[in-house]
Amino acid sequence: MSSRNTFNYLLLLLSFLLSGCSAMDDNILEQPGIIGTLVLGGIVLMVVCIFIVVRLNQLLSVLYTRKIQKDRETLKEEILNLEDSDVEELLLKRRAALEFRLAGNELSGEQVAEDSRGIVRQVSTEEFIPVVAEKKEPPMIKGTDPRLSRLVAAFAASAALWLLLGTGIGQYLGMKFIWPEIDNVPWLSFGRLRPVHTNMVFWGWASMAMLGLGYFVIPRTSNTRIYSLRWGWTTWWLVNISVLTGTLCLMGGINNGGGEYREYIWPVAALFAAGLFLTFLNFYKTVARRKTKDIYISNWYILAGLIWTLVLVTIGYLPFYQEGLGETIIQGYYMHQGVGMWFMTFTLGLVYYYLPTALNKPIYSYALGILAFWTQMLFYTMIGTHHFIFSPLPWWLQTVAIVFSMGMFIPVIAGTTNFLMTMRGSWDSIRVSYVIPFLLVGVIFYFVGSSQGSFQAFRFTNYVWHFTDFNVAHSHMTMYGIITFFLWGCLYFILPQLTGEKPKPVLVGIHFWFALLGLLAYMFSMMLGGTLKGLSWMEGKPFIESVVLMMPYWVWRAVGGSLMFLSHLLFAINVYTMCGRFLMKRPHRIAKSIS
Amino acid sequence: MLNPGKDHRALAGLSFGVFVLLSLVVAVLPATTMQESNSPLPGSSPLLEAAQRGLKVYVREGCVACHTQQVRNIEMDNVWGSRPSIPADYYYAKARMDVWRQSPSILGSERTGPDLTSIGERNPSETWHYMHLYNPRIVVPESIMPSYTWLFEVKEEAEEEDVVLNLPPSLKPAHGVVVAGNDARDLVAYLLSLKQVDLPTVERDFISSRKKRKEETQTTPLAGNSTLPDGASLFQANCAVCHQPDGRGLPGAFPPLAGSPIVTDENADTIIRIILEGYDARPEYATMQPFGDLLTDEEIAAIVNFERSHWGNNAPPVTPDDVKKLRVPANVP
């Protein structure tokens, strides 16, 4: 599809939006859900623009230096045209200047330099490179049990592998929209591979990374040692085996019935749940023997996330009420809570620890965190059925879901405010740290992605967007923009401290930009394409037209996806730099080398 | 007093307890109700064995990733079926598959390909389906659906009962013929079984994206009869097909009238209005068509009185005037 066509579609959409044309009496722009989503999209663009402006500014300063050089050239020419007598005078002055020598102690005096208080953290003699600004080291966290560090690093390493594999598969699936004949192997066919992608990035990447990061936070904030390292390792094995067997089952055509994120059959899901249960016991017992009086807010989220997910998996897989549309109600509940009660809750817990720690300051408001916690539980639980608006499910259940989706603004705004207010006054860290930009993008998408989800629950927006590729944009805004960016920030912060190995800043920088720009291309193409698809259906055009019109947007999605995948390659390399050598050492050697 | 901030038992207990409670209210109980109050539609039949196996192929190949099977009650979905889907439509298909696998999530969440609710009606040609499965682009050039060639076999020579594909030259194997394998035959049997069971009294009624103007109802005033017509026979003729002769309805399709608070309400306005204008406020049931044009005030009053005095219902009778005043006035400028 040529760019001209894309342009035409854009024009079409614009004229449609502005004229409130034939398909509807109401102007689409007057719909609160649409307005809200446009505003949210604008927020993302604005933040990215600010990012880009800051970076461009640095690049421009290089150009400015060039201009100065040019001025020098002109000066040189002027000098060449000078009279002999003037030249002689100047040369004499110059000789005197050149022959002047400093004694060498004008600034320092006679004393030998010494940093007796350990204030200097980093001595750099490298030249300034504008593309990758030199980053500051985060404050060091000392005194971690090296065996625990090893466990956290192992979780991070397998998470990175699952991310690479899972998004590689995702990228391949994206290409199948453009070249449906790319292969003809049953194990690689679209229908079987799609759940492989989603489940692998959910249970393999995000869950493993979360668990690993949690294993550091819980003992740290409880000021005690982890209850059982062995249970931690058992969890590591259980989850990895679960994802591996689950993947093989799905590719072999054995799935639970096609409900999203519930595709693993119950024996496979049971392995995952067993791992979670062990970790819950482990965390609970660690918190129980904490040496602090209060339970830090992170631990609220992490413990509750584990409890809620265990309940959720149990309800999701028990068969007693899942005949007929009973299954559909459970599916809405399960798929939404899987995201909300597991990934979102647990990750928020991590952010409540890693964000203030990385900024070396306390969280802005403890009370706001607690408000967000209870409202998260109350509102998130009720909104699963908003995936089935206009379906044959009871109207009251759909309405409850829509109403509580609006309620989600409370925890989301509370959380966002808390994080932004914590960052306030530390904006400089965005420039000097490679951890904070990841966390900031996570915070922005936490607000934008979650609010956009609430808007999408309106009956009108659902009318246009449901069943279209818009949903795919939403799930990538949240699982990628929020969860994945938060996890990256946390991992880049903690891993170097545990292993003593730092990644190359330039690789972290490229990772950040590829991931962010890739995500933007992905989400805006799917949002725009999805909207056009919905409008085409509303106009009653033949279905195949909506397939044809999506093609350019699918191409853009593949472009964005490629950038994202490349960034994951760099992330994997960085994780290898940070953990590879550390993990290959024998455990007792680590203990020795660190002590 | 519970103090979750200082007491980990309170924290864990409270999060567990409240979450379980909420989950019961919003998921388990509605799901149980949904499962219990369901029955097959009159005129529907269980899946034949081949179709049953075909459903398993459908699930195995992940068809649900791109194809929905739900006609929503909104206007754009009226191309996928003649009426919105109701729970009873899924009575046979959505049952637990085996000990390992639950009831299939065939409603779907994305429509990358067309909805399949009534594909058996829309496209009843077996040959079309075989060709389409072997390579969708044979029949729909713009399609992006994968080719399911592994559901087919290449044979040197077709046997008598084989389904042979008549492929275009570019896709023909070097020698031999392509015949449908068992999986392909089962899958096609399943696809052809996908039809919406007719509910004769149900009108097309989808929520439009634009605001509908209220349709004007014509009234035909009759010369006043002092006695009302026979409510029992009118009920049999007009209402019993759906609400059943015993007034108990069909769970998942048609609501019961026996013991219904709407039918037995002291104030009969709601029930009269439903009969006059139709009713579609409850997606768990089929849409009811309006009867205002079909029945006179006297006939409606007779039916209402019959419903209000049978099957244990006991409510005061209504008069034709009660019906008349609820009709949307005709010829209002």
pLDDT reported for residue A157: 97
Query: How far apart, in whole angstroms, are the C-alpha atoms of residue A431 and residue A437?
Result: 8
B22/A463 touch (CB, cutoff 8 Å), yes or no:
no
- A45-86: per-residue pLDDT in tens? 888 888 888 888 888 888 888 889 999 999 988 878 888 888
Worst-scoring range by mean pLDDT, A107-121, A178-192, A266-280, B185-199? A107-121
Q: What is the mean pLDDT of residues A172-184?
A: 94
> Residue A253 and residue A125: Cα distance in Å, rounded?
58
Shortest alpha-carbon distance between residue B190 and chain A (Å): 16
Q: Enumerate the residues of chain B whose CB falls inside 8 A of the CB of residue A544.
A: 140, 142-143
The pLDDT confidence band at residue A2, using thresholds 50, 70 and 90, is very low
Quick count: other Cβ atoms within 10 Å of Cβ B243? 22
Using the Cβ of B32 and the Cβ atoms of chain A, whether some distance falls under 8 Å is answered with yes
Q: Does B73 touch chain A (CB under 8 A)?
A: yes
Closest CA to A308 of B219, B144, B298, B21: B21
Using DSSP's 3-state secondary structure scheme, residue B110 falls into strand
Q: Is B156 left (phi over 0), alpha (psi -120 to 50) or beta?
A: alpha
Predicted local confidence at residue B237, as pLDDT? 72
Q: How far is A495 from chain B (nearest CA, A)?
A: 29
Pick from A466, A540, A549: which is nearest to A33 by CA? A466
**Chain centroid offset of residue B128 CA:** 26
B170 in A contact zone (CB under 8 Å): no
pLDDT of residue A436 exceeding 50:
yes
Contact A330, B27 (CB under 8 A): yes
Chain A positions touching B94 (Cβ under 8 A) are 323-325, 327-328
Ranges of CATH 1.10.760.10 domains, chain B: 49-193, 231-324
Please answer whether residues A215 and A152 qualify as being in contact, where contact means their C-beta atoms are separated by less than 8 angstroms.
yes
Contacts of B114 in chain A (CB under 8 A): 543
Query: What is the tens place of the pLDDT at every residue in A321-338?
Result: 999 999 999 999 999 999
**Res. B212: pLDDT tops 70:** no
Answer whether B26 sits within 8 Å of A400, measured CB to CB: yes
pLDDT tens sequence across A200-214: 999 999 999 999 999
Q: Could you tell me which residues come within 8 angstroms of residue B18 by beta carbon, excluding any fewer than 6 positions away?
A: A377, A378
Return the CATH architecture of domain B231-324: Orthogonal Bundle (1.10)
Note whether A297 and A373 are within 8 A (CB). yes
Residue contact B32–A341, C-beta within 8 A: no
How many degrees, rounded to 5, is the angle at CA A28 between CA A23 and CA A30?
140
DSSP conformation letters of B211-264: PPPPPP------PPPSS---HHHHHHHHTHHHH-TTS--BTTTB---TT-HHHH
Contact B65 A191 (CB under 8 A): yes
Cβ proximity of B109 and B65 under 8 Å: no
Tell me which chain A residues have a C-beta less than 8 angstroms from the C-beta of B86. Answer: 392
B60 touching A (Cβ < 8 Å): yes
Residues B146, A190: contact at Cβ < 8 Å? yes
Is any Cβ of chain A less than 8 angstroms from the Cβ of B116?
A: no
Residue with tokens 């591996």: A244
Q: Where are the alpha helices (DSSP H) in A32-144?
A: 32-80, 84-99
Residue with tokens 């472009």: A559
Chain A contact for B6, CB < 8 A? yes
Residue of A487, A466, A475, A481 lying closest to A534 (CA atoms): A466
A349 within 8 A of A299, measured Cβ to Cβ = yes
Comparing A530 with B168, the larger pLDDT belongs to: A530
Secondary structure letter of residue B37 according to DSSP = S
pLDDT-based confidence at A432, cuts 50/70/90? confident
Q: What's the CA angle centered on B87, arms B50 and A337, to 5 degrees? A: 100
CA A504 to chain B, closest CA, distance in angstroms equals: 40
Copy the structure tokens of residue A562.
Answer: 């490629």
Whether the CB-CB separation of A455 and A527 falls below 8 Å is answered with no
Please report which confidence band the pLDDT of residue B225 belongs to, taking 50, 70 and 90 as the band edges: very low
Residue A48 is predicted with a pLDDT of 87
Choosing among 2.120.10.30, 1.25.40.80, 3.30.565.10, 1.10.760.10, the CATH entry for B49-193 is 1.10.760.10
- Does the structure show a pLDDT above 70 at A280? yes
Residue A252 CB coordination number (10 Å): 12
Q: Chain B: nearest CA to A515, how far in angstroms?
A: 26
CB within 8 Å: A394 and B60:
no
Exposure pattern of B299-328 as b/e (b: 16+ CB <10 Å)? bbbbbbbbbbebbebebeebebebbbebbe
Q: Fill in the amino acid letter for B109.
A: S
Which of A182, A260, A323 is the mutation pick for testing B, counting most B CBs within 10 A? A323
DSSP alpha helix (H) spans, A424-504: 428-432, 436-456, 459-465, 470-476, 485-499
Smallest CA–CA distance from B280 into chain A, residue? A395
Rounded to the nearest angstrom, the minimum Cα separation between B207 and chain A is 9
On the question of pLDDT at A125 being above 70, the answer is no
State mean pLDDT over B174-193: 94
Task: For residue A124, give the DSSP letter.
Answer: -
Chain A residue with CA closest to B9: the answer is A288
- The residues, ordered by sequence, that sit 6+ positions from A331 with a Cβ below 8 Å of its Cβ are A259, A260, A262, A387, B105
Interface contact A265-B76, CB threshold 8 A: no
Q: What are the chain B neighbours of A378 within 8 Å (beta carbons)?
A: 18, 22
Please, are residues A372 and A419 in contact by the beta-carbon 8 Å criterion? no
The question of ipTM being above 0.90 is answered as no
Q: Could you give the percent of chain B with pLDDT greater than 70?
A: 90
B10 touches chain A (CB under 8 A): no
When pLDDT is cut at 50, 70 and 90, the band that residue B61 belongs to is: very high
DSSP code at position A106 = T
Structure tokens at A79: 């000098």
3-class secondary structure, A9: helix
- Express each pLDDT in B89-145 by its tens digit: 999 899 999 999 999 999 999 999 999 999 988 888 888 899 899 999 988 888 999
Residue in A with minimal Cα distance to B281: A395
Q: Lowest mean pLDDT: which of A101-105, A486-490, B60-64, B86-90?
A: A101-105
Q: What is the pLDDT of residue A52?
A: 85
The predicted model gives A420-426 an average pLDDT of 92
Q: What is the pLDDT of residue A229?
A: 95
Min Cα separation B218/chain A (Å): 27
pLDDT for position B205? 62
Least CB-CB distance to B35: which of A255, A307, A326?
A: A326
Q: How far is B221 from chain A (nearest CA, A)?
A: 36
> Of the candidates A303, A304, A467, which has its C-beta nearest B111's C-beta?
A467
Contact A378 B149 (CB under 8 A): no
The terminus-to-terminus CA distance of chain B in angstroms comes to 67
Residue A491 is predicted with a pLDDT of: 97
CB A196 within 8 A of CB A250: yes
Write out chain B residues lying below 8 Å of A294, CB-based: 5-6
| Interchain pair B209, A331: CB under 8 A | no
Element (H, E) at B177: strand B177-180
Chain B residues close to A315, C-beta within 8 Å: 23, 27-28
What is the average per-residue pLDDT within A107-127? 75
B30 touches chain A (CB under 8 A): yes
Please judge whether B34 and A333 are an interchain contact, meaning their C-beta atoms are less than 8 angstroms apart: no
Q: Where residue A318 falls among pLDDT bands split at 50, 70, 90?
A: very high
Q: Which pLDDT belongs to residue A41?
A: 87
Mean pLDDT, rounded, of chain A? 89
| CB contacts < 8 A (A, B) | 270
SS3 B74: strand
Residues of chain A contacting B204 with CB distance shorter than 8 Å: none
Are B19 and A341 inside 8 Å of each other by CB? Answer: yes
Contacts of B147 in chain A (CB under 8 A): 180-181, 184
Residue of B20, B26, B68 with shortest CB distance to A311: B20
* Among A31, A351, A32, A83, CA closest to A209: A351
Q: Which of B30, B86, B137 sits opposite A392 (nearest CB)?
A: B86
pLDDT given at position B327: 82
Query: For residues B152 and B181, what is the distance between their CA atoms, to the nearest angstrom?
Result: 5
pLDDT at residue A420 greater than cutoff 80: yes
Chain mean position to CA A259: 25
Residue of B18, B73, B209 with shortest CB distance to A538: B209
